[in-house]
């Protein structure tokens, strides 16, 4: 299950794909996929440096981009299923390989003599950008492509935009030359982070899939949660939290874990739309779940210029609050519907699971120790974790599954195949960032939004949240965060919002687009698996994932929820936050120790929201928090006593 999560590639829902039909394409594909992974592993291991080769990182990025584009045109064709690979896809594949390979070899010269080789850089930039645009359309559809085309239009005609948003326009040839070759554009930060960090963890996930690690974590979730009320849903929440952290896609997480957890929930008695909603909400939250957080943790650390560990620490409490809400509501829903544990025959003994799979947590321990104790880079730490997993899994087995040498080759191939879409998205994110920087759009947009926020921070937060959700619709997680971190976070920071809080704010609201109608990709994918109505599933998923809309506003007002502050402030924010999550969740579910009246539901919800507000959020906030605590304590005590009296 974990492996399928991280290996979402050409079969991921939402991609218009068909496998290569040509015998030549089928033969080439595994080698090209494996070559991508080998380049990534060699760079993470600093192999060129150890061999005395002075290479630019952009040379590796150009090679990875060339191979990824080639794979797109070989495997994601515009032809009808069953047809042969058309000649223009062969031409596009050859152009991608030739232009990208030429750029990789010639980059040292191009970088040193950029202004003296306008024809060469323009032709290369034009070819690569056109191929990236078409690859984007084939792999992600029209939503992100439409955004990219708007930015291209601004780059050419930004000087015609009235007011403060007017920008410097680029000549057509200048645009292709700069965006295609410069290291602050297509070959810039987004592609570098994806290629040197994210792909390492996709490789780790591939190894988990083939070594039996996915089965171990599934069994562990079942053994720990299956015997409790609503155990099937809790297994889904727990498994999605584990695997969603590694996955770079909420949709892929749903598509992989959901095929197991949703039928399990349906058999236990959960309604189809509820089963799908729980899986969608849990999978969406995995993208903000430490220690890996999909790709977001590495990207955020690079953009903020802080350590990876600082990002992980800041993300811990919001992620706990999010999953606590989903977990509690799954439990309360089970209590309200009278849903019991999972059938005992389907629950593996915990002792047996731990005895056979005790070694699978070791690679994650290696990862954490490498990052926080040895202060290694994420890429090197991920390489160490993968190496430890290989060493253990070649000797030990789980449920008869042991890693074989052939599985290593399959992992190399699978990593390259899974990386195709995210590499294309990284190149597109670099194009957008390059346009924003060179045209001055970032300064104009920040100025306009800061002027708005000077009158009302809440208005700016609300507007930013809406923009995040709209821009995030239909986009993969990596693209969402890059786009929003470039456009939406700077105005918040300019107004005095703590930088980490600003970036976490846009990350959370961008992710919530995955379950927000009308384009709720994670919810719609889960609804398809459950046979449920999509919009109803999406609305129900919003109820389960409601902290994703509330908690970001709270940690903007008071970063204590991001572990910034004194130990007493952080502890108080954590305790009252968890209590508030419980109370609001009970109000939404309409159940605590028994069914709740409408008045009690509303009262618990209001009291819980008051509890959630950190005492340092604004002057007098501690009074509101104290009042919420008193109200909730009174209501909970009354419900417990009333239930005890009625039962006696």
Q: Are 514 and 250 in contact (CB under 8 A)?
A: yes
Question: What SS3 state is found at 240?
Answer: helix
What's the confidence (pLDDT) of residue 249?
Answer: 67
Q: Which one, of 394, 398, 392, 395, lies nearest residue 348 by Cα? A: 398
DSSP assignment letter at 401: B
Q: Band of the pLDDT at 213, cuts 50, 70, 90?
A: confident
In DSSP terms, 398 is beta-bridged to 401
User: Among the three residues 564, 595, 610, which one is the final residue of a domain in this structure?
Assistant: 564
**Domain co-membership, 529 together with 594:** no
Q: Which residues contact 130 (CB under 8 A, 6 or more apart)?
A: none
User: Among the three residues 547, 564, 581, which one is the final residue of a domain in this structure?
Assistant: 564
Please state, in angstroms and rounded to a whole number, the distance separating the CA atoms of residues 385 and 363: 5
**Domain co-membership, 648 together with 533:** no
At 188-206, the pLDDT tens digits run 888 888 888 878 888 888 8
Residue 389 in tokens: 């997993």
**Domain co-membership, 559 together with 531:** yes
| Chain position carrying tokens 């590499």 | 423
In a domain, 52, yes or no: no
**Domain co-membership, 339 together with 222:** yes
Question: What SS3 state is found at 376?
Answer: coil
Burial of residue 227 (number of CB atoms within 10 Å: 0-12, 13-18, 19+): middle
**Domain co-membership, 282 together with 396:** yes
Please state, in angstroms and rounded to a whole number, the distance separating the CA atoms of residues 370 and 201: 14
Q: pTM value? A: 0.79
| Chain position carrying tokens 């935009």 | 161
At 167-182, the pLDDT tens digits run 888 888 889 999 998 8
What's the confidence (pLDDT) of residue 138?
Answer: 85
What's the confidence (pLDDT) of residue 295?
Answer: 64
Residue 519 in tokens: 């384009």
Please state, in angstroms and rounded to a whole number, the distance separating the CA atoms of residues 562 and 565: 9
User: Among the three residues 524, 541, 564, which one is the final residue of a domain in this structure?
Assistant: 564
Q: Which residues contact 121 (CB under 8 A, 6 or more apart)?
A: 110, 114, 177, 180, 181
Q: Are 277 and 265 in contact (CB under 8 A)?
A: no
Q: Which residues contact 341 (CB under 8 A, 6 or more apart)?
A: 226, 227, 228, 229, 230, 231, 347
In a domain, 539, yes or no: yes
At 333-366, the pLDDT tens digits run 999 888 988 888 888 899 999 999 999 989 989 9
Residue 562 in tokens: 């991001």
Q: Is the dihedral of CA 257, 263, 265, 271 positive or negative?
A: positive
State the CB neighbour count (10 A cutoff) for residue 46.
13
- Is the pLDDT reported for residue 625 higher than 50? yes
Q: Which one, of 15, 381, 18, lies nearest residue 203 by Cα? A: 381
Omega cis (within 30) before 268: no
Please state, in angstroms and rounded to a whole number, the distance separating the CA atoms of residues 184 and 175: 13
**Domain co-membership, 559 together with 569:** no
**Mean pLDDT on 79-91:** 70
How far does the chain reach from its first CA to its final CA, in angstroms? 46
- Is the pLDDT reported for residue 34 higher than 80? yes
Please state, in angstroms and rounded to a whole number, the distance separating the CA atoms of residues 537 and 272: 8
In a domain, 147, yes or no: no
In a domain, 118, yes or no: no
**Domain co-membership, 583 together with 523:** no
**Domain co-membership, 471 together with 520:** yes
**Mean pLDDT on 540-550:** 93
In DSSP terms, 401 is beta-bridged to 398
Q: Which one, of 134, 122, 136, lies nearest residue 178 by Cα? A: 122
What's the confidence (pLDDT) of residue 76?
Answer: 59
State the CB neighbour count (10 A cutoff) for residue 30.
16
- Is the pLDDT reported for residue 15 higher than 50? no
What's the confidence (pLDDT) of residue 504?
Answer: 92
What's the confidence (pLDDT) of residue 474?
Answer: 60
What's the confidence (pLDDT) of residue 270?
Answer: 92
At 380-401, the pLDDT tens digits run 888 999 999 999 999 999 988 8
Specify the higher pLDDT residue, 467 or 607.
Answer: 607
What's the confidence (pLDDT) of residue 477?
Answer: 66
Burial of residue 454 (number of CB atoms within 10 Å: 0-12, 13-18, 19+): exposed
* 57-75 vs 118-140: helix crossing angle, rounded to 10: 50
Q: Which residues contact 545 (CB under 8 A, 6 or more apart)?
A: 281, 284, 285, 322, 325, 326, 512, 515
- Is the pLDDT reported for residue 277 higher than 90? yes
**Domain co-membership, 583 together with 516:** no
**Which of 291-300, 456-465, 565-574 shows the highest mean pLDDT?**
565-574
Q: What angle do CA 411, 417, 421 make, to 5 degrees?
A: 140
**Mean pLDDT on 273-283:** 93
Q: Which one, of 170, 177, 118, 185, lies nearest residue 439 by Cα? A: 170
- Counting every residue written for the chain, the total comes to 648
Please state, in angstroms and rounded to a whole number, the distance separating the CA atoms of residues 151 and 433: 10
Average pLDDT score, the chain? 85
**Domain co-membership, 595 together with 491:** no
What's the confidence (pLDDT) of residue 608?
Answer: 94
Please state, in angstroms and rounded to a whole number, the distance separating the CA atoms of residues 326 and 597: 22
**Domain co-membership, 576 together with 554:** no
State the CB neighbour count (10 A cutoff) for residue 350.
15
Residue 599 in tokens: 């008045």
Domain count, the chain: 2
In a domain, 625, yes or no: yes
Residue 256 in tokens: 């992989």
Burial of residue 499 (number of CB atoms within 10 Å: 0-12, 13-18, 19+): middle
Q: Are 202 and 4 in contact (CB under 8 A)?
A: no
- DSSP letter string over 483-513? HHHHHTHHHHHHTT--HHHHHHHHHHHHHGG
- Is the pLDDT reported for residue 23 higher than 90? no
Share of the chain above pLDDT 70, in %: 92
What's the confidence (pLDDT) of residue 16?
Answer: 39
In a domain, 129, yes or no: no
In a domain, 117, yes or no: no
What's the confidence (pLDDT) of residue 12?
Answer: 38
Question: What SS3 state is found at 403?
Answer: coil
- Is the pLDDT reported for residue 479 higher than 80? no
**Mean pLDDT on 93-104:** 94
- Is the pLDDT reported for residue 454 higher than 80? no
What's the confidence (pLDDT) of residue 374?
Answer: 86
- Is the pLDDT reported for residue 89 higher than 90? no
Residue 370 in tokens: 């490498």
**Which of 401-410, 449-458, 600-609 shows the highest mean pLDDT?**
600-609
Residue 610's domain spans which residues?
A: 565-648
Q: Band of the pLDDT at 487, cuts 50, 70, 90?
A: confident
**Domain co-membership, 486 together with 626:** no
In a domain, 403, yes or no: yes
At 587-614, the pLDDT tens digits run 999 999 889 999 999 999 999 999 998 8
Please state, in angstroms and rounded to a whole number, the distance separating the CA atoms of residues 8 and 475: 15
What's the confidence (pLDDT) of residue 11?
Answer: 37
What's the confidence (pLDDT) of residue 3?
Answer: 34
């Amino acid at each position: 299950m974990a492996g399928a999560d991280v290996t979402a590639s050409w079969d991921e829902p939402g991609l218009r794909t068909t496998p290569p039909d040509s015998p030549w394409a089928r033969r080439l594909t595994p080698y090209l996929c494996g070559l991508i992974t080998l380049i990534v592993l060699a760079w993470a291991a600093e192999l060129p440096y150890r061999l005395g080769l002075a290479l630019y990182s952009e040379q590796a990025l150009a090679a990875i981009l060339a191979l990824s584009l080639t794979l797109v045109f070989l495997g994601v064709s515009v032809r009808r299923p069953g047809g042969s690979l058309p000649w223009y896809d062969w031409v596009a594949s050859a152009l991608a390989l030739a232009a990208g390979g030429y750029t990789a070899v010639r980059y040292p010269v191009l970088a040193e003599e950029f202004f003296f080789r306008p024809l060469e850089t323009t032709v290369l930039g034009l070819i690569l950008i056109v191929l990236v645009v078409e690859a984007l359309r084939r792999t992600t559809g029209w939503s992100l492509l439409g955004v990219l085309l708007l930015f291209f239009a601004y780059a050419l005609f930004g000087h015609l935009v009235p007011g403060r948003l007017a920008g410097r326009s680029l000549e057509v040839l200048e645009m292709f030359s700069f965006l295609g070759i410069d290291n602050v554009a297509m070959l810039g930060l987004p592609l570098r982070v994806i290629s040197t960090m994210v792909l390492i963890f996709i490789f780790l996930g591939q190894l988990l899939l083939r070594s039996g690690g996915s089965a171990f974590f599934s069994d562990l979730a079942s053994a720990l949660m299956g015997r409790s009320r609503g155990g099937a849903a809790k297994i889904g929440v727990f498994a999605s939290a584990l695997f969603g952290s590694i996955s770079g896609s909420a949709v892929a997480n749903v598509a992989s874990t959901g095929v197991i957890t949703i039928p399990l929930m349906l058999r236990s008695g959960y309604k189809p739309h509820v089963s799908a909603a729980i899986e969608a909400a849990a999978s969406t939250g995995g993208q903000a779940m430490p220690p890996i957080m999909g790709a977001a943790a590495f990207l955020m650390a690079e953009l903020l210029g802080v350590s990876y560990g600082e990002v992980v620490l800041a993300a811990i409490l919001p992620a706990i609050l999010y999953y606590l809400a989903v977990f509690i509501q799954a439990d309360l829903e089970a209590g309200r519907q009278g849903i019991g544990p999972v059938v005992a025959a389907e629950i593996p003994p915990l002792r047996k699971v731990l005895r056979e799979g005790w070694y699978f947590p070791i690679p994650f321990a290696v990862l954490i120790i490498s990052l926080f104790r040895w202060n290694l880079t994420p890429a090197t730490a991920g390489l160490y974790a993968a190496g430890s997993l290989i060493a253990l899994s070649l000797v030990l087995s789980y449920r008869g599954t042991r890693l074989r040498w052939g599985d290593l080759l399959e992992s190399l191939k699978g990593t390259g195949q899974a990386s195709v879409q995210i590499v294309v998205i990284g190149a597109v994110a670099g194009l957008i960032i390059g346009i924003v920087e060179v045209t001055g759009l970032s300064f104009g947009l920040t100025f306009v939004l800061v002027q708005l926020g000077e009158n009302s921070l809440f208005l700016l937060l609300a507007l930013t949240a809406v923009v995040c959700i709209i821009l995030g619709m239909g986009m993969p997680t990596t693209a969402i965060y890059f786009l929003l971190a470039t456009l939406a976070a700077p105005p918040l920071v300019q107004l005095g919002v703590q930088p980490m809080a600003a970036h976490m704010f846009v990350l959370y609201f961008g992710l919530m687009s995955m379950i927000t109608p009308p384009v709720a990709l994670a919810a719609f994918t889960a609804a398809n698996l459950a046979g449920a109505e999509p919009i109803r599933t999406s609305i129900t998923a919003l109820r389960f994932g409601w902290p994703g809309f509330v908690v970001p506003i709270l940690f903007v007002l008071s970063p204590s929820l991001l572990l910034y502050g004194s130990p007493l402030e952080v502890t108080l924010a954590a305790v009252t936050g968890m209590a508030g999550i419980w109370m609001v969740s009970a109000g939404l579910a309409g159940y605590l120790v028994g069914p709740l009246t409408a008045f009690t539901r509303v009262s618990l919800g209001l009291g819980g929201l008051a509890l959630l507000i950190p005492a340092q959020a604004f002057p007098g906030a501690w009074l509101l928090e104290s009042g919420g605590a008193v109200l909730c304590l009174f209501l909970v005590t009354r419900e417990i006593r009333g239930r005890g009296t009625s039962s006696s």
